[in-house]
Structure 1
Amino acid sequence: MLTVVSDTHGTDGHRLRGRTLEAVRAADRVIHAGDFYREPVLDAFLAENESLFGVVGNNDDAAIRKRLPRERIVAYEGVTFAVRHRSRSGATGLVMFGRERDADVVVFGHSHRPEFDDSADLPLLNPGSHAQPRGNRAAHAELEPDPDGVGLVGRLVTTDGEVFRRFTVDPRDD
């Protein structure tokens, strides 16, 4: 399983709980789309799962900025994820970012709003925030290989384990 989280905004711990903590611990890989906030938070995530692929968010301290890139590519089960915290030019900028990196999906954070948007030719996934939802559901994303074929089946899940959105991600053919 691939678990995707973002926007922890912690000072001394990962603030994981419930299903989100279980999903991070069980994951083959974890993507964090930025805003850990302080370096001990990054270290706490790594203590839960060493296969953490994080990026820097706009609120991350200098120590995190030294350790993580602003953007990265993560491959999982034949699907390529382009990861960054945000885009100043919105969805269009995120789609362009993903296209330039031959990605199948773009993972981003910043808004704290969990969403999967496949209305454009490149899907956008924001897992929301598990720790500081700001009026949204406290959430994360989970993706697993599609048992019926190629690609991944995904879901947005609350920290209590409620699945509120299901989706699929397929490798692009171009």
Structure 2
Amino acid sequence: MKIVVISDSHGRMLDVYDAVERECPDAVIHLGDCYEDACELRHSYPDLPVYAVLGNNDWGADVPLQSVVTLEGVRIYLTHGHRDGACFSSPGNVPAHAAEQDCQLALFGHTHIVYHAKHGTVEVLNPGSISLPRRGVASYAVLTLNEGRVECITLHDTQGGLWDPEKKKQKKWGWF
């Protein structure tokens, strides 16, 4: 199963649509900050499952701040991260909350910075921001899950190439 993971789209959908069209995923996970973008994806791709949680800039939707989903036999903890204490240099309590839920994988956003590390039995990933990165270029992740295992995690820039932490921010449009 192939899953595109995005966070912090903040209403800037062009790169989100490009990633979905390029990757042809079986599902999309949106980790908050702009829940309306997840709703737009559901409307545009009615046969594509879209899982989402609220971010610190999302209001009024009856959607959880955290959730656990099981995809292809892998338990995944989803959170934006702001209520889990995630900050620029740390995932905060995200790994502990995922472990409490018996999850193999924890996904969070909020910081707009890519993060990928193993914490005990939990693999923790922040795909960065697909619209407003704080370091480097905008990014998203692709997960490949198979029979209860995380087979592969790759990070991509919005051009589809592998994400490079040394690459400098590119301006696509004059004021973005």
Instruction: Say yes or no: TM over 0.5.
Output: yes
Match status 1:71 vs 2:66 = yes
| Residue identity opposite 1:9 in structure 2 | H
| Offset at residue 96 of structure 1 (A) | 1.1
Partner of 1:88: 85
- Three-state SS of the structure 2 residue aligned to 1:4 is strand
Specify the code of the residue in structure 2 equivalent to 1:122.
V
Q: May I ask how many residue pairs the two structures share in their alignment?
A: 156
**Cα distance in 2 between the residues matched to 1:119 and 1:42:** 28
2:97 aligned partner: 97
Aligned residue number for residue 22 of structure 1: 21
Which residue does 1:163 correspond to in 2? 162
Contact 1:18-1:159 within 8 A present in 2 as well = no
Where in structure 2 are the equivalents of 1:1-174 lying within 5 Å?
1-10=2-11, 14-16=13-15, 19-23=18-22, 26-36=24-34, 39=36, 41-49=37-45, 50-62=48-60, 65-66=61-62, 68-86=63-81, 87-88=84-85, 90-118=90-118, 120-145=120-145, 150-164=149-163
- Which stretches of structure 1, 4 residues or longer, exceed 4 Å deviation after superposition? none
CA deviation profile, 1:10-46 (whole Å, cap 9, x unmatched): 1xx634357523256x211111111116x3x333221
**Structure 1: which amino acid aligns with 2:3?**
L
* SS of structure 2 residue aligned to 1:21: helix
Structure 1 pair 114–56 and aligned structure 2 pair: CA distance change class (3 A): same
Q: RMSD over aligned Cα, in angstroms? A: 2.5
**TM-score normalised by length of structure 2:** 0.77
Q: C-alpha separation between the residues in 1 aligned to 2:69 and 2:22?
A: 18
Matched letter for residue 76 of structure 2: F
TM-score of the aligned structures, taking structure 1 as reference length: 0.78
Task: Give the conservation status (yes or no) of the 8 Å contact 1:117–1:125.
Answer: yes
- The SS at the match of 1:123 is strand
Structure 1 gap segments, 5+ residues each: 166-174
- Structure 2 stretches lacking a partner, 5+ long: 165-176
